[in-house]
Amino acid sequence: MTLILSASELSSLANMAATIDTIERAFHSLATGTAHQPAPASLHLPSSDAKFLPMAALSDVDRLASVKLLADIPSNHESGLPTQRSTILLSSQATGETLAILDGRVPTRIRTAAASAVASKHLANPDSSVLGLVGAGALAVAHVEAMVEVLPIEKVVVWSRTEETLEKFRAQTAHHKVDIVAAGSVQEVVESAHVLCTLTPATEPVVFGEWFAPGLHVNAVGSRPRPEHREIDSEGVLKSRVFVDSLATAKEKSGNLIIPVSEGDYGFDRVEAELGEVIAGSKPGRTATDDITLFNSVGIGLQDLAIGRLLYDRALEFGLGLRVDLAR
């Protein structure tokens, strides 16, 4: 039997603390060879701006194979539709049975914030208390929830293009009992933050390295997985010790790194490590208080597999989801 889980059911099952632990374990398994994570293909045709990415992964720890089909369609915005949609399929590693099909929106948002929290846990200064957010949408709300689990966050400095989004953000984060400060500019956010998260679908840089202060940790999250899109300018990359979720994926999909490389100012050999290598202890993370560290978060299928396992198990525990016999 295959369990089909909707977005509303997944929202009720999501648990950030458990997801952070799960994502940390997934990165560790990638570094130690108990998981396999190929760089995703990008499927597109000249007839539209749409790209479809099948993001596959395999894990001994979770006993699963998985694939998330991510549809990235920027022109959907003109019709009031989501510009990214996805569906996750989980299969038994042992038998190949399709165990579950999950709407991808909630798992993607939660696991992305959890990955930033894992990176911040291992790369930020441990006394970091000011969180900076460039963007105030649903992903920003999830990042507050994630960061307070791993760092002593007391203040959140946030910038948004619209007052409406900012007020919704305030309402959805009020229960965390942190001070929310609305910034007048992106520069104000960057210069105030101990940990900075960039969460916009920018195609050109909105964050500049000249604003980076010693000791800053950056989670570069928001840009689409397209080599021509980026949020961070080249100076920001050059000033930072850069860590990635997957080097193979970053080489194919991350404009934050691909563009400085194409300009001749940077080389992929300068990337410090994959995050899993830092977690496993095979590569160093932050080496000094004044280090500027940057986690370039493109997103990998193994993260979807890991949160998929967590949500599938919780759905079985609570009796949620629609059971379908696909073999009938």
Give, for all 328 residues of the chain, the pLDDT tens digit: 999 999 999 999 999 999 999 999 999 999 999 999 998 889 999 999 999 999 999 999 999 999 999 999 989 988 899 999 999 999 999 999 999 999 999 999 999 999 999 999 999 999 999 999 999 999 999 999 999 999 999 999 999 999 999 999 999 999 999 999 999 999 999 999 999 999 999 999 999 999 999 999 999 999 888 899 999 999 999 999 999 999 999 999 999 999 999 999 899 999 999 999 999 999 999 999 999 999 999 999 999 999 999 999 999 999 999 999 998 8
- The pTM is what? 0.96
Q: Pick the closest to residue 203 from 240, 232, 239, 234 (CA basis).
A: 232
Q: Pick the closest to residue 6 from 145, 107, 98 (CA basis).
A: 107
Angstrom CA distances, 101 to 66, 83, 131, stand at 10, 21, 35
Which pLDDT does position 327 carry in this prediction?
87
- Residue located via tokens 């000791």: 215
Q: How many CB atoms lie within 10 A of CB 153?
A: 20
- Residue located via tokens 């000094």: 288
AA letter at 308: G
Question: In the numeric block, which tokens belong to residue 281?
Answer: 């202890």
Distance in angstroms (rounded) separating the CA atoms of residues 166 and 80: 20
Which pLDDT does position 303 carry in this prediction?
98
Q: Are strands 293-296 and 241-244 parallel, antiparallel or unpaired?
A: parallel
Distance in angstroms (rounded) separating the CA atoms of residues 201 and 228: 12
Phi and psi at 80, nearest 5°, equal 75, 20
Which pLDDT does position 85 carry in this prediction?
96
3-state secondary structure the chain: CEEEECHHHHHHHCCHHHHHHHHHHHHHHHHHCCEECCCCCCECCCCCCCEEEEEEEEECCCCEEEEEEEEECHHHHHHCCCCEEEEEEEEECCCCCEEEEEECHHHHHHHHHHHHHHHHHHHCCCCCCEEEEECCCHHHHHHHHHHHHHCCCCEEEEECCCHHHHHHHHHHHHHHCCEEEECCCHHHHHHHCCEEEECCCCCCCCECHHHCCCCCEEEECCCCCCCCCCCECHHHHHCCEEEECCHHHHHHHCHHHHHHHHCCCCCHHHCCEEHHHHHHCCCCCCCCCCCCEEEECCCCHHHHHHHHHHHHHHHHHHCCCEEECCCC
CB 121 within 8 A of CB 129: no
First to last CA, the chain: 10
CB 212 within 8 A of CB 240: yes
Order across the sheet with 195-198: list the strands. 179-182, 155-159, 130-134, 195-198, 217-220, 293-296, 241-244, 273-274
